[in-house]
A = this chain, B = another copy of it.
Amino acid sequence: ATVMLCGWRAAGAKLRWDVSVRGLRSMTTLPEQQQPQEPHRPGPSWMKNSGRERLVVLGSGWAAYRIIRDIDIEKYDLTVVSPRNHFLFTPLLPSTTVGTLEFRGIIEPIRTARSRLNYVQFSCTEIDEEKQQIFCESFYDHGETKIKENIKLRYDKLVIAVGAQSGTFGVEGVEDHCYFLKQLSDARLIRNRILECFERASSPRVSDEKKRQILSFAVVGGGPTSIEFAASLHDFCAKDVVKWYPELYPFVSITVVEAGPKVLSAFEDSLSQYCQKQYKKQNIEIRTNISVKKVNEDSMELSDGSILPFGCGVWSAGNTPVPLLTSLPFEKQGGRLVVDEYLRVGGRTNIFSAGDCCVVKDNVLPPTAQVAEQQGKTIAKNLNSSSISPSVVPPMRRFKFHYRGMFAYTGEFSALLDSPFGTTKGFISWLLYVGTYLTKLVSIRNKIMIPMYWFKSFVFGRDISKF
C-alpha cells in the first residue's frame, strides 16, 4: 500500500497545520494572526467552546470504555481518541475465530456509547504538556492508498488508556507467518485461514504428510486467550470438521507451546492441572517449558531443538507497549507507565493512565480486563468529584483492586472459574461463564444476539463459508 501525505486543503502538498475554521479554536491551536475564514457551523460540541473542562481519553478498550460510560458529561467535554472506533468485549474474542459467535456480537461502537461525546479516529503520537495539547495522526483507508492526516487537540485532563499490543519478543518471523489474536480483524483473518487450511487439505492431490502439516494448528502462549482459542478450535473440529470434512479429522492436531512451566499460570494450581487433563482428553497437546526460537513459513523452531510444522500459527504470547509510550518522558516499568495510587502519571494532577499501558507503583497487577475496568472506574469517579476551582480539593479515591474471579473456557461446555470464594471447573463453571458474560455484555443488542449466536452454532453448527 502506498502511503500518501496530504493536508485536506492541499492534497499531495506539504502538510499544513493551519486550521481556518472558527469553531475549532477551542480544541485546536490557531496561529494568533490567522483570521477565521468560514462562518461557524453546527458540529460536535468540541468544535465549540463548551465552557466545560476538556477531557481527552486515549483508547477504546476496557479502561477507556468504563470512563466514557461513567464520566459526568455535564462537567466534561469528552473527546475519545482511538484508531479503533469500537469497544471489543475481549473475553469472547477466541470463540469468534471459529464462528461459535459472530464478530459483531462482541463489539460496541464508541459513538453510540452515550450522547454528547466526541470521537476522532486518530492515534496520539505525542503529548505537549506545556501547551496541554496532543498531536495525533491517522491513516485513512482509501482503497489501495492510505491518507495520512494530522491534528492537534487541547486538553485540560488527559487519560492514557491505549492498552498494549501483541509482543513478538524479538522472535524472527512471527509477524510474517503468525496471526495475533488481539483485535477483531485478527479473529477474522484466523477464521478464514482455518477454513482455507481445511479446503487446501481436502484438495485431491495432497499427501498425508502434507495434510498433517496443513492441519497442524500451533498456538504460542499459555494464557487464557491461547487456551480458549485452542478449546474453541477443538470444539469446531469435534463438531463441525468431523461432519463436513470427515476424512480430514484424523489429520488435525492442536499444539499449545508455553515457555513457562504451566499454562494458565494466573489460575489456581488445581485448575491449571484440570486444564491439562481436559486438553489431553481432547487431544490438544500442551508443551510447557518450551519457547519458540524462530518462525518459518510453515514451521516453528523450538527451544528443545524440535520442529513444529503448522498450517496456521497463532501467537498470543504476551503484550508489549505501544509506540506512544516509548516516546513519553514519564517514569516507566517494563515499558508501562508508572502511576501512583490515584492513577496519576508522573505526579501530574491532570494526566491519568489506566489499563495494560500502566502499572501501579508497588502494586503490579496482571494486564486483565478486570483491572483495566476498575481503574477506569476509579479515574471516572475522581474526575467526576474533582473541582474546577484550584482552591477546593475534594478527597480523591485511592485505586484498590478487587479481585472478582476469572474464567477460562476449556472446550466441550466446560470452563474454569478461579474466584475469591473458591474454584470450580467443568460444566457448572461453563454455565457460570455464560451467565456472567451475558450479564457483563454492555448493550441490550448484544445481550439478545449472543444467545442467538450460541443457539445457532449449537443447533446448526458453525458456518464454514470463507469470504
A residues sitting closer than 8 Å to B (CB atoms) are 7-9, 19, 21, 24, 27-28, 38, 41-44, 46-47, 84-86, 99, 102-104, 107-109, 111-112, 119-122, 138, 140-145, 147, 149, 151, 153, 176-177, 183-185, 188, 192-193, 195-196, 199-200, 202-208, 210, 244-247, 297-298, 443-445, 448-449, 452, 456, 459-461, 463-467
Contacts and interface: CB of A to CB of B under 8 A. Distances in A.
Given A141-B193, A204-B151, A464 B85 contact: yes
A135 B7 CA distance: 51
A44 B247 contact: yes
B176 A143 contact: yes
A444 B460 contact: yes
Contact of A196 (B140, B452, B466): B140
Prevailing SS type, chain A contact patch: mixed
Contacts of A185: 467
Contact of A104 (B102, B107, B109): B102
A456 B449 contact: yes
A147 B104 contact: no
Nearest to A140: B200
Contact of A465 (B42, B109, B298): B109
12 contacts: A8-B210, A19-B204, A108-B465, A111-B244, A121-B202, A140-B199, A142-B298, A147-B200, A151-B205, A183-B467, A184-B467, A443-B460
Interface centre among A38, A142, A464 (most CB of B within 10 A): A142
A105 to B, nearest CB: 9
B467 A8 contact: no
Nearest to A184: B467
A448 B456 contact: yes
Contact of A85 (B102, B145, B448, B466): B466
A459 B447 CA distance: 14
Nearest to A79: B204
Contacts of A444: 460
Contacts of A144: 176
B452 A192 contact: no
Contacts of A19: 204-205
A107 B464 contact: no
